[in-house]
Amino acid sequence: MLSLESEAKKMDATTALHALISEEWQYQLEHSPTYASVQGDRRWNGRWDDLSLEAIEADHRHSLQVLERLKKVDRARLSADDQLNLDLFRRDYETWVEEHQFKWYLLPTNQVGGIPEGIKQPPGVQTAYQLADNLRFETVKDYEDWLVRLGGFGTYVDQVVALMREGLREKRVHPQVILQRIPGQVERQLVEDPTKSGFFSPFLRFPASIPLAEQQRLSALARDAIQKGVVPALRRFHQFVTAEYIPGASQQVGIWQLPEGEKMYAFFARRFTTTDLTPDEIHALGLSEVKRIRAEMEAIMKRTGFQGTLPEFFHYLRTDPRFYHRTGEDLLLHYRALAKRIDPTLVRLFKTHPRQPYAVEPTPDEMAPDVTTGFYYPAAADGSRPGTYLVNLYRPETRPRWEMVPLTLHEAVPGHHFQTSLATEQTGLPDFRRFGYYVAYGEGWALYCETLGDELGLYADPYDKFGQLSYDMWRAVRLVVDTGMHAKRWTRQQALDYFMENAPRQQLDITNEVDRYIAWPGQALAYKVGQLKIRELRTRAERALGGRFDVREFHDVVLLGGSLPLDVLERKVDAWIAGQKAAPRTTSATGK
């Protein structure tokens, strides 16, 4: 039995950790107000993130102080659950501190910047209007908060420009090839009529509860704020990007050319994969996976009855009209029908389903030309907004039918929607774990989910199965071309050529993908590394448990602890396997 003194010290350690975690979550929300807004927390709805150099340095000092405070928490006196909470919490702050030295914050703008998907990810200038589509507008105060945000947008833009100008001075700038996409994105927002601005969109959908006189007053203030503040700020940004920033950028690609670029890329590889894999090891893994998947593609091609080579089959898939919808409207209807077809099958593989609904919506027209086929925005934690699966309807003749099943399994269900929603619903976890996101886990899970189409009966058509393999190949190619450009000094054209040779995706998508890797070094490595680890853990469990393996239980183990680094997930699954083996045998398991 523990002594009273020991019990008191244990309580002190637990209380201190819980207090620090809770305090820091509030700090992060307050200092990332756009992220807080997306989560449904309206306390700072009138603010943009402070991106001044002074604020960034203050935040870094704060992270160092938190790490010092953590040293005073006696880990040995914590429960196993709280030891894990402490380890994950400290890991986040150590990562932020290590990243700070590379000054990635001096590259705040790229062609794919969107609404904040996490703390430390403020919205891009040219896509900031999208924030409005992810907020609740129910009361007069909601609209007044947005008006305050509109009034502060000029300061936000000027802070971003100051960071970019400092980046120019230190030669920390994205390559010209991706920056050249930004002026066009901004030009589409330089409207003469403020009601045509994306920032005005909330004032086009007033709830009936707001009196007409108030609607008119708020709309007039919004038009004035956009005309006198928002559009001039965007003009300043456009002028800076075209006159100073792009001319000062490199024509080469790859962060190896930035100060400490090789060291920075090695850090990003570790950060995004949550492993100790080096760029060279990841490159070799990619080459191996490309070879494996290519052999599977050859076999499926033969099942279709196609007579010809694999490159010829790629050409057929890219060009034959039978694989494409004629209009964006038809494409959207097909996506929505597919989601409804998938939903009822999931009980076969999943014991726990999220309470949050999800919607299938078109990608906003303003960003559609520069982004990939689909992506997912998580539901608001307060239930005010469902999860949203955005599908790209731009140029439907480039959006093949055979990619729709794996894409929907990945982005919607059971991929990102299950992962993010179920994590949020684990109210017994601290908030930083409910809403945290390790890319290797989240994207690895979603890529793993693409393979579940076989078990769900969704790949009976060999073209759909080939679509899944093409998506698997896409993520394998990523390992090769991302490390190729950022570590092995490949040119952009080398990356494009390698991608085209090994995947049947359309050139538009491939170009957007490669340019995304240029803008976001290392992030794309996480998908395949995470998928392989989750598949490895499932295979390990199947072999260890035999007939006692229940895939529905396995998926609960993977999903109900929130997002985890891969090494932590591995320990969790191994502990579950050991517990299952030690448990007395009762009824037979189902769902293998």
Complete DSSP assignment for 137-188: --SHHHHHHHHHHHHHHHHHHHHHHHHHHHHHHTT----HHHHTTHHHHHHT
pLDDT digits (tens, 9 = 90+) for 69-121: 999 999 999 999 999 999 999 999 999 999 999 999 999 999 988 777 788 99
Look at residue 141 in the predicted model and tell me its pLDDT.
98
Supply the pLDDT for residue 586.
63
Triad 533, 495, 312: Cα angle to 5°: 90
| Structure letter (DSSP) for residue 396 | G
Question: Does residue 2 register a pLDDT over 70?
Answer: no
pLDDT surpasses 90 at 336: yes
CA distances from 323 to 136, 294, 303, 326, 480 (A): 38, 21, 17, 10, 28
- pLDDT digit string, tens, across residues 436-486: 999 999 999 999 999 999 999 999 999 999 999 999 999 999 999 999 999
Per residue in 280-335, pLDDT (tens digit) is: 999 999 999 999 999 999 999 999 999 999 999 999 999 999 999 999 999 999 99
User: Tell me: the pLDDT tens digits for 570-580?
Assistant: 999 999 999 99
Instruction: Take residue 316 and report the two structure tokens written for it.
Output: 């057929």
**Helices 416-424 & 404-411 angle (0-180, nearest 10):** 10
User: Given a cut of 60, is residue 261 above it in pLDDT?
Assistant: yes
The pTM of this model reads 0.93
Output the pLDDT for position 509: 87
| Spatial contact of 293 and 474, defined as CB atoms under 8 Å apart | no
Residue-level pLDDT at 391: 96
Residue 592: its pLDDT value, please? 36
Distance of alpha carbon 106 from alpha carbon 100, whole angstroms: 10
pLDDT at 104: 97
Average pLDDT over all residues of the chain: 95
Angle (nearest 5°) at CA 160 between 156 and 164: 170
